[in-house]
Structure 1
């Protein structure tokens, strides 16, 4: 039974047919982009509340942390390990749901079969519930702690911590970089180059290694599919970005479109797509740490470092942030091209699922992940030049380096009549 609403036809069994049909791949890409917008917005609120929660426990070291893999104390805490783990599952479910919302529906009308694009109701409902639960967790985390600042800038956060006496600048460390935390804080000669994020932030190394593990896992997945379809060979004709009638693939079937079938389908997808989702989430650490350092190094430019900025401006204006923001929906979309779900939907009723793994598209995804891993590896290994000590968003280091807080700040040698070179008011190094 159908109810016609404008250009749509809504069926009572949970499938919405769109007339005229659009390209399923474009719809899926748009849906992935919407999911990314929603999860990034939720992540911003959750990340800000996590910073304040860690600061209240005197455990906040860096401005940027692995949001879902760093927890505050207490299982009942909205920023605790339990709800963080649930948030990880919900994030994976969000992207997994988006991958199976779009289907090709075949309407059988007398002797004629008309194909159209269909939106399955159950995964769309699960997607909505997953996003709603993430919003509830983020809002509860926001209400559970006093937010120090909504700014994503490490300088606004450091200033707030210093103002609330939760962070005290250390003397004789105004020329010490973040990698010198365990070094005696006496006079220091400024080096010509600074350490890379790989050496300065302990979690960066883990993230880069994890990205390469994902690349290896994707290559192993592709090799497995190749071994199953050993009697077919990849050629220029069968290798394409989109799958076509010449594509090589392996397939297996799942039960009908009942709740049990949907659960099995989600488990199959999440087992593969979950690794990709976690990898892209962890990549945020590299992007945000580099963003914090780039912002700090603006203090040596003519315009100076502007402390009070729009909380969202650094996120949408930094090139690395934009690259990752585009990469997230695009890579999930590429995953959908390689891990395709087909169904025998007749007259807007699902009968069974057929999971198809396309060899060429899996290799395409592997190549894209390889490029992403190479890019972030290079970014993490780059060493800033100049005598300005690298901080990478380390709050104690920034508190030591900044002697006067103002809306616009500059870093450099201050000549105030004493026979010493120093940055700020604290003795740095003798001539």
Structure 2
């Protein structure tokens, strides 16, 4: 005979550890019915999820605009090269005598960086959706947000595979690197513009190929729509007895089980292993940039004293080296294809880590936003799972912060590591006979300070621990499937049912009371006690009594 008692978290046993009992006589409950009862609520209502057709229209419109921009760049580069040669360019000011200020020239580069950011973000959205669908079809999708260029589907020839993902990373670096060469001194240089257009066009082609290669269940970027879609299509199964277990427990504790609410939840740093790698990489960028500045101070070409700090270079303290040879004025082919390739390699080698670091930072921004959205379920207004994609983008302050910083930091890098063309002019045409690569120490220090502030903000966000008993998810799909047992366009999370010995917490279409901090929560179908050897577990439904019927006695 089993002595009746109120169990604690330690008394609970995993369903996997329970003995087989199908052949035992006089048992009225089948353990399979226990599991199906615990999952039945979570599987209802998932067919309402948003397919994201509006998001799909916006995404395809963005890719169409990116295609237009790429074609314009290819056309402009081809026309300039056909009239001025492979080393030629065109003055936007009309002629060489009407040279604008340095600030105006840099505003042109900043605008070009902004256009590149808009194009690559639109392409990246399509690519991330197709990669997410590919990982889901392979049952490898754990989080709603992934490192797009660092995660790949199986198969080298797959559009979402390792080979084309690596090519996408190289093309992204080339896109930003082209801005440094394509718009120098308020002029359009033909060859870099052609390379920029080709890089954007190839990214569009890879993204569209990836989109066509997989079946996309939902275009929504909301983790709730993705979870509901996977559950609805039986690609994700909610786990029982985990209505109070957050993402860290899902990863570290396979057994899990009933738990008491916690006043503080784990941080994204502890819940997502990739976030730790991103934070370490960001601080590596800061240290590398600081070391770069120290190297320039040590190896500088001039003995002039330090001048005032400035945002824009003034050639007061720099290190420079030449690409190409000093040519005679009659030689209009001084800059060859090999010299252009050398210039791109130089920029990619230095700018590549910055580009990859900013890309990886998207993971932190999106994971924090997913958790911020999930925690709205305990507010008075509740969690709205269906939102306009533009409104959702504008309501994400960290995402907007990162979007602005992307092209600004790339522009600051261009100030730190610039290529000054030297050549002949004829009217509004310019023929480049030499490139001078210049590294400006003040601007490198400015970039280092900006990166340090950037790394500090994202590190603090990654280490921040959410307060309150609501389990943290950070966009972890299995955890969301375990916690959400009733799907609706507007959801609230909280205490749903009293029971002896376990209570049930979950979601509802109406406002729910707060969970009891001294109760143990398991789910809507729970085992009443740990069975003795040879006995089957007995299912006991939650009792709808007083709010304190599941409260543990104080000791």
Normalising by the residue count of structure 2, what TM-score does the alignment of the two structures yield? 0.71
Q: Which moved more, 1:330-339 or 1:249-258?
A: 249-258
- Number of residue pairs matched by the alignment: 409
Q: Which residue of 1 aligns with 2:483?
A: 401
The question of whether the paired residues in 2 share the 8 Å contact of 1:174 and 1:427 is answered with no
The whole-number CA distance in structure 2 between the counterparts of 1:186 and 1:225 is: 58
Q: Which residue of 2 aligns with 1:225?
A: 296
The whole-number CA distance in structure 1 between the counterparts of 2:127 and 2:257 is: 39
Q: Which moved more, 1:305-314 or 1:41-50?
A: 305-314
Deviation at 1:363, TM superposition (A): 0.7
Deviation at 1:287, TM superposition (A): 0.4
Among 192, 213, 219, which residue is 2:284 paired with?
Answer: 213
The question of whether the paired residues in 2 share the 8 Å contact of 1:196 and 1:384 is answered with yes
Q: Which moved more, 1:208-217 or 1:302-311?
A: 302-311
For residues 30-64 of structure 1, the C-alpha deviation after alignment (integer angstroms, 9 at most, x for no partner) is 00000000000000000001000000000000000
Q: Which residue of 2 aligns with 1:310?
A: 388
Q: Which residue of 2 aligns with 1:385?
A: 467
The answer as to 2:131 corresponding to 1:50 is yes
The question of whether the paired residues in 1 share the 8 Å contact of 2:498 and 2:504 is answered with no
Q: Which residue of 2 aligns with 1:414?
A: 496
The answer as to 2:309 corresponding to 1:239 is yes
Among 300, 322, 328, which residue is 1:253 paired with?
Answer: 322
Change (3 A) 1:337 1:234: farther
The answer as to 2:374 corresponding to 1:296 is yes
Gaps of 5+ in 2: 1-78, 325-333, 507-522, 527-541, 543-549
Among 418, 435, 449, which residue is 1:367 paired with?
Answer: 449
Change (3 A) 1:10 1:54: closer
Q: Could you say what the CA RMSD is over the residues aligned between the two structures, in angstroms? A: 1.9
The whole-number CA distance in structure 1 between the counterparts of 2:481 and 2:237 is: 7
Q: Which residue of 2 aligns with 1:176?
A: 245
Q: Which residue of 2 aligns with 1:196?
A: 267
Deviation at 1:199, TM superposition (A): 0.3
Q: Which moved more, 1:79-88 or 1:247-256?
A: 247-256
The whole-number CA distance in structure 2 between the counterparts of 1:205 and 1:325 is: 21
Deviation at 1:421, TM superposition (A): 3.2
Q: Which residue of 2 aligns with 1:267?
A: 345
The whole-number CA distance in structure 1 between the counterparts of 2:268 and 2:261 is: 18
The answer as to 2:110 corresponding to 1:29 is yes
Deviation at 1:10, TM superposition (A): 6.3
The question of whether the paired residues in 2 share the 8 Å contact of 1:243 and 1:337 is answered with yes
Q: Which residue of 2 aligns with 1:426?
A: 524
Deviation at 1:142, TM superposition (A): 0.2
Deviation at 1:202, TM superposition (A): 0.6
The answer as to 2:258 corresponding to 1:187 is yes
The answer as to 2:360 corresponding to 1:282 is yes
Q: Select the structure of larger CA radius of gyration.
A: 2
Deviation at 1:320, TM superposition (A): 0.2
The question of whether the paired residues in 2 share the 8 Å contact of 1:151 and 1:310 is answered with no
The question of whether the paired residues in 2 share the 8 Å contact of 1:238 and 1:360 is answered with no
Deviation at 1:427, TM superposition (A): 5.9
Change (3 A) 1:198 1:269: same
Q: Which residue of 2 aligns with 1:149?
A: 218
What SS is found at the alignment partner of 1:354? strand
Deviation at 1:230, TM superposition (A): 7.6
The answer as to 2:175 corresponding to 1:94 is yes
After superposition, residues 157-168 of structure 1 pair within 5 angstroms as 157-168=226-237
The question of whether the paired residues in 1 share the 8 Å contact of 2:80 and 2:189 is answered with no
Change (3 A) 1:341 1:238: farther
Deviation at 1:343, TM superposition (A): 1.2
Change (3 A) 1:64 1:392: same
Q: Which residue of 2 aligns with 1:16?
A: 90
The whole-number CA distance in structure 2 between the counterparts of 1:98 and 1:312 is: 27
What SS is found at the alignment partner of 1:346? strand
What SS is found at the alignment partner of 2:184? strand
